[in-house]
Structure 1
Amino acid sequence: MGRPLLPLISVEAITTAALDLVDESGDFSLPKLARRIGVSQSSIYNHVSGREEILELLRHRIIAEEPHAPVDHGQWEEALRVLIRAYRDAFARHPRLAPLLVLQSIKDPDVIGMYEDLARALEAAGFGGRDVVSAISTIDSFALGAALDLAAPDVVWDPPADGYPALKRALSDAGPAQERGRHAFDFGLDVIIGGLRDRLRTKQGHLA
């Protein structure tokens, strides 16, 4: 019997199988990964060092799936909008991956490059020091939350029949689930950009 034209296992095959398992169940294990690919668990270690490396490969995969256009750091508001939307969209495609990736340090060069773009845009706006990292952390939290919101059930809030009038009035105007999610993201993005702009104005006023 001739040898197969393509090997059963490769870094690409490991990444694809791991992402499939995460999309299906919210996690993966090396034994399950080996069974999914059809190889022995020990053969996986010939291609990757272990779970941590696989998670970084997954991080790289979801960011690389739909790369965003290059940004002009000097146009900081538009740059932030492009980068935040790209990050949100990456996790929205694979929402079950988010809880796994937030538990370990970000090392993938392409993903680090997105954070470099964020830092450069914030510096171009006039932020410096710890404000840059604080802004990035705030953006991170918002983008991840927005991605999970897109994966939420159609009915997120289901108050009892009696009471909660203010919430019920708000929900009556929320629209369909996808429309609500898009509006909430655009609303939150405007709030973040506006808040950063106001903070810069306050800072500049204090320096005047």
Structure 2
Amino acid sequence: MPRPASPLLSVDAIVDTAMALVDESGDFSFPKVAGRLGVSQSALYNHIDNREHIVELMRGRLFRKHPFPIVKDLDWDIALTALITAYRDGFAAHPRLVPMLVTQTIQDLDVIGLYEEVALILERAGLTPAQIAPAIATIDYLALGAALDLAAPDVVWSPPEGDFPALNRALSSSSAEERAGTAFRFSLDILISGIRAMTAKN
């Protein structure tokens, strides 16, 4: 059987290539994707609608590539901690994708399902419907920021010795190598404690 005259295309191949470009440079374009795949740019449109379509497919790919734990039988605080940690770890594998995803409406049904699970956990915790949407946004801030922080250098602040005394005291009392993990756990503790305090007033 003769070999095809041009490379075979698929949605998976396009998404893989776009994600690789984002990991390398923080962005992708149709010409670059087509060039790397060895096809014409117009050939991509047989499989992909537009740039936004690719971004949403990358979002879904990321979530399916890093499965989330089953938490329905866990206490709400343990379940929420497990989901947020998995959420952070998934984005930490592709930190340059984060700025692209936060500027686009979430449509992937698997990802929407994750947010539904978070909303159910927050209901179990005792938050009111009016409190759940801002709580979910806060969780996004925490998980996405923590994912980006994992790509930061170990030493984030370098104040001159003798100046900025409070900051220098704080930095000298903690390990630079453990900074990101310690900050993430601290943020989770504040979030869980805050939810407990709010639900006690409801």
| Interval of TM-score (by shorter of Structure 1 and Structure 2) | over 0.9
Residue aligned with 2:119, SS: helix
Count of residues paired in the alignment:
202
Distance (Å, rounded) in 1 between the aligned partners of 2:141 and 2:20? 25
**Residue of structure 2 equivalent to 1:199:** 198
- After superposition, where does 1:7-156 map in structure 2 within 5 Å? 7-72=7-72, 75-156=75-156
Deviations 1:3-54 (A, max 9, x none): 25x9532110011100000000000011011111111100111001011010
Contact 1:8 1:37 in 2 (8 A): no
C-alpha distance in 2 between matches for 1:123 and 1:29: 41
Q: Following TM superposition, where does structure 1 have runs of at least 4 consecutive aligned residues deviating by more than 4 angstroms? A: none
TM-superposed deviation, 1:187: 1.0
Quote the Cα distance in structure 2 between the aligned partners of 1:167 and 1:193: 26
Residue 159 of structure 1 deviates from its aligned partner by 1.5
The alpha-carbon distance between structure 1 residues 21 and 102, as it changes in their structure 2 partners (threshold 3 A), is same
Identity of aligned residues (%): 55
- TM-score norm. by structure 2 comes to 0.94
- Deviation, 1:73, is 6.4
**Equivalent residues of 2:154, 2:179 under 8 A apart:** no
Would you say the 8 A contact 1:119–1:132 is kept in 2? yes
Q: Shift of residue 176 of structure 1?
A: 3.3
Contact 1:73 1:120 survives alignment (8 Å): no
CA distance in 1 between partners of 2:117 and 2:131 (Å): 15
Question: Conserved in 1, the CA contact under 8 Å of 2:15 and 2:57?
Answer: yes
Q: Is the 8 A contact 2:68 2:87 kept in 1?
A: no
SS at structure 1 position matched to 2:117: helix
Residue number in structure 2 paired with 1:171: 171
| Amino acid in the other structure paired with 1:197 | R
What is the CA RMSD across the aligned residues, in angstroms? Answer: 1.8
Q: TM-score, normalised by structure 1?
A: 0.91
| Native 8 Å contact 2:127 2:195 kept in 1 | no
Task: Map Cα deviations across residues 83-127 of structure 1 (whole Å, 9 max, x no partner).
Answer: 111111111111110000000100001111110000011111221
**CA deviation string 1:151-193 (max 9, x = no partner):** 112221122344111111211222133x211111111111101
Find the aligned partners of 1:91 and 1:188 in 2 and give their Cα distance.
Answer: 17
Give the gaps of 5 or more residues in structure 2.
none
| Aligned-partner Cα distance in 2 for 1:25–1:133 | 33
The answer for unaligned runs of 5 or more in structure 1 is: 204-208
